[in-house]
Amino acid sequence: MTPITMERFNAASESLGWAYRSLAQQVIHGFFAKHKDFYIEAALKDAAARGMPEEDYYKVLRDGSEDDLARYVAGRPGFGPAPLDPVEPVPTGPEFRQKYNTISLSSYNYCLLKVCRIVDTGPLTQVVSRIVRYHFEDSGYWEKNYLPQIAADKACRFRV
């Protein structure tokens, strides 16, 4: 996490009672709730470009690995601008790491996360890091959802 993301992630965890693992899960679920349509279309394009029926493609993502996907028949499809495109990569040094237990996702969101990784082409840890960064730095969630609750609690008021 970037220093800003880490500060906000920790503040949300401490002030609002979110365990790190639960907060990370919620962030990923929220990302796919907002961008589900893009990743559904990307999955369908990718499956078609591999000559795979949707159901087979989904099962491979859910039950196997990307290595089990069929090779592209006529090249990788164009996915268009992706939600994570404007999010800068997160530095990978030890000072940028935030530890939390293994996160679990629904099978559906797990498949969407794998599609997101295919679209992005980066390592899965970087994709997750960028989703978390998006949530706390780029999406407006911090200002809209978290900061008002933290400010109200600090002021011991219901509204600030």
Structure confidence by residue, pLDDT tens digits, 28-73: 999 999 999 999 999 999 999 999 999 999 999 999 999 999 999 9
Residue 132 above 80 pLDDT?
yes
C-alpha to C-alpha distance for 9 and 1, rounded to whole angstroms? 9
Residue 99 above 80 pLDDT?
no
Domain ranges of the chain: 3-155
Model pLDDT, residue 102: 78
Burial of 106 (0-12, 13-18, 19+ CB in 10 A): exposed
- Contact present, 28 and 113 (Cβ < 8 Å): yes
With cut-offs at 50, 70 and 90, classify the pLDDT of residue 101: low
Model pLDDT, residue 108: 97
Residue 96 above 80 pLDDT?
no
Residue 100 above 80 pLDDT?
no
Model pLDDT, residue 86: 95
Residue 9 above 80 pLDDT?
yes
Mean pLDDT of 92-121: 87
Q: How many CB atoms lie within 10 A of CB 40?
A: 15
**Phi first, then psi: what are they for 119, rounded to 5°?**
-65, -45
Mean pLDDT of 130-155: 92
With cut-offs at 50, 70 and 90, classify the pLDDT of residue 91: confident
Of 12, 30, 1, nearest to 135 (Cα)? 30
Residue 131 above 80 pLDDT?
yes
Model pLDDT, residue 64: 95
C-alpha to C-alpha distance for 82 and 79, rounded to whole angstroms? 7
